[in-house]
Amino acid sequence: MLTTGQRPPSEEGAETHILFVDDSGTKEYSLSGAYDSGNTRHFVFGGPFVAADQAKRLAAKLRRLKAETFGSDRVEIKSNWLRLENERTARYLRKFGLTDADLTRFVEAFYQAVVDSELVLIACVVDKVHMREDYGDRAWYPPAAAYEMLLQRAHAEIVDCRSSGTGRCFSVIVDDMSGATPKGHQYRENLRRHHIQLKKTGSTLWKGITFEHLRDLRFVDSQRSELLQVADVVAYNVFRQFRQYGEEWETHGLSALPAYDWFLRLCQKFRKGPNGRIQGFGVGKIPLRTRVPWRI
């Protein structure tokens, strides 16, 4: 209950940890200010932050689960495909001759494998309505704001006492994205430039925060990465949590936070602060108007 890939050679050396990132929700602000399924109010970046050796172990475990269920380990797991009936039927049930019960057992085992693994989940949510209300035309581009907050939490985790040690550093692997902003800027290049700037000059959102333990950014097709498929599940479940219970995230006086079921199944793995608090530690919101110390 909630209460109040291979790395290319580099002179920096190989990373000890990796942050796997996928998104959920649409990237752009609505010109009219109205949001629906075509342009969502919330945008999320999220995924697992994990030691490189543990990432390999979890990937191998998930491939075994796939082979046992589908007869092949080359099956991509995506939240939308599991959720939408036509996608679920075409991509999993009919294609591999499974029953709903077979697929349900696989999903339960998939989630349990994540929960049983030594990893930390991190997610950042941009509320576009609140961003426009608070900052007007100065509001940050949602993916840029979410990415910077996500990296700040990952960097804080690696310098935390739980992850202390010499030579600790992390790289970021993001699900390969295509497309461009309304101004014509390419999403990938935007993110790449932002990553390089954070390494060089530190945070622009939080003055004084540096990223000396941050290394590479790579883009990988999620079909080739079990950990990016985990990131897809994480980002989507956080998105659903805020779509259904976004207002409650900042409501004082509630004894318990209403929760989307699949988000609740993963919440114990989100990065925690004092007394098990996840608001602002494992799940960050921009902008945060009211601090409510939701904890596990």
Give the per-residue pLDDT at 205.
82
Token pair, residue 52, equals 């490189």
* Per-residue pLDDT tens over the stretch 154-169: 999 998 744 455 678 9
For residue 282, the domain's CATH number is: 3.30.420
Residue 214, in any domain of the structure:
yes
Residue 63, in any domain of the structure:
no
Residue 88, in any domain of the structure:
no
* Per-residue pLDDT tens over the stretch 27-54: 999 999 899 878 999 999 999 999 999 9
Give the per-residue pLDDT at 296.
81
Residue 223, in any domain of the structure:
yes
Q: What is the DSSP string of 164-227?
A: --TT--EEEEEE----B-TTS-BHHHHHHHHHHHHHHH--SSSTT---TTEEEEEEE-GGG-HH
State how many domains the chain has: 1
Give the per-residue pLDDT at 271.
97
Give the per-residue pLDDT at 295.
87
Give the per-residue pLDDT at 182.
61
pTM here?
0.93
Domain that holds residue 216: 17-54+119-286
Q: Average per-residue pLDDT in the chain?
A: 91
Residue in the block written with tokens 């599991």: 82
Give the per-residue pLDDT at 184.
52
Residue 104, in any domain of the structure:
no
Give the per-residue pLDDT at 7.
45
Cα dihedral 114, 255, 247, 236 in deg (nearest 10): 10
E strand or H helix at 12, and its extent?
none
Residue 11, in any domain of the structure:
no
Residue 67, in any domain of the structure:
no
Mean pLDDT by 10 residues, the chain (296 residues): 49 81 96 90 98 97 98 97 96 97 98 98 98 94 96 92 66 85 74 95 88 95 96 98 96 94 96 94 96 89
Give the per-residue pLDDT at 159.
87
Residues 295 and 265 sit within 8 Å (Cβ to Cβ) = no
Give the per-residue pLDDT at 163.
46
Which own/partner pairs from 269-272 qualify as long-range (CB within 8 Å, at least 24 positions apart)?
269/48, 269/114, 269/115, 269/119, 269/120, 269/121, 270/120, 270/121, 270/122, 270/123, 270/296, 271/49, 271/120, 271/121, 271/122, 271/153, 271/157, 272/296
Closest CA to 151 of 46, 230, 236: 46
Residue 204, in any domain of the structure:
yes
